Amino acid sequence: MTNSVFERNTAGAGGGLARFNAQLRLLNSSVTRNKALGAGGGLYVDAGPSPGSSSYVQVRSVTFSGNEAKDNQGGGIYKIGRIELYFTTIVGNTGGVHSLLDGNTRFHGSVLYNPGFPNCSGDGSTQISNDLANHVSDASCGPFFPAAGDPQLGPLQDDGPNTTFYHLPLAGSPLINKGPGDCPERDQRGMLRVGACDIGAVEFEGLLPPPTPTSTPTLPTTPTPPPTATPVGTPAPAPAGYRVYLPLVVR
């Protein structure tokens, strides 16, 4: 799924969306202000019978914001199995990512900031991997994720109808120009990333991509016929059915 908005939904689990064992790739989208009566306010991921060998759920250039889980287990994401969270913004949820059982939760170029709740939680059996250039505000994700504090993000916003929601880094944000070297060419909104990219789903100084050139079709031309030459000095023939008599002069 790409360029999708999951907004203000409610479900027993997975307020925004839920997945069990199916292939799932979520790209350039937003999951915001959803509610779960159980776990997984934004996204609920489950896998079986062997979560540790399940296929990876791939989440890239996505914002999770303002999602709630009633039991505070994964206000943003509740996960059993394996998941990649790359260039993702997880902010302002009732908990960040809740991981259970064996498997792996991988972060790369992502920002987690959920004040009042842990960014990472679970039963301790899941491997949490720092795949470089992440910003996690607290130390809840483990020793490889030092507490980095407030990422300085703006409020949740969109760009009008049929656009996704996002948090733009503020001027001076520690996310700016601190992303990894393999950032996608465009951010969640489709804006071009500039120079050293930023951590998270959107680029502070993202640029509109250049317009796609369009060619104007050439219409076929109709040749103009040459003018018809009219002979000069040739008398017009007499109308049919008439005779012309000339006077006879005798000298």
Query: Is pLDDT above 80 for 211?
Result: no
Query: Is residue 146 helix, strand or coil?
Result: coil
User: Which secondary-structure segment (H or E) carries 104?
Assistant: strand 97-108
Question: Among candidates 199, 178, 175, which has minimal Cα distance to 187?
Answer: 199
Average pLDDT over residues 30-35: 98
Task: Please report the pLDDT score of residue 42 as a whole number.
Answer: 98
Which is more confidently placed, 185 or 238? 185
Average pLDDT over residues 1-12: 97
Spatial separation of the C-alpha atoms in residues 53 and 7, rounded to whole Å: 31
pLDDT grade for 230, boundaries at 50, 70 and 90: low
Task: Please report the pLDDT score of residue 123 as a whole number.
Answer: 95
Task: Please report the pLDDT score of residue 222 as a whole number.
Answer: 64
Task: Please report the pLDDT score of residue 223 as a whole number.
Answer: 64
Convert the pLDDT of each residue in 63-122 to its tens digit: 999 999 998 899 999 999 999 999 999 999 999 999 999 899 999 999 999 999 999 999
Spatial separation of the C-alpha atoms in residues 119 and 125, rounded to whole Å: 16
Task: Please report the pLDDT score of residue 69 as a whole number.
Answer: 97
Query: Is pLDDT above 80 for 9?
Result: yes
Query: Is pLDDT above 50 for 248?
Result: no
pLDDT grade for 168, boundaries at 50, 70 and 90: very high
Percent of the chain residues past pLDDT 90, beyond the cut: 75
CA 119 to chain centre: 23
Task: Please report the pLDDT score of residue 251 as a whole number.
Answer: 40
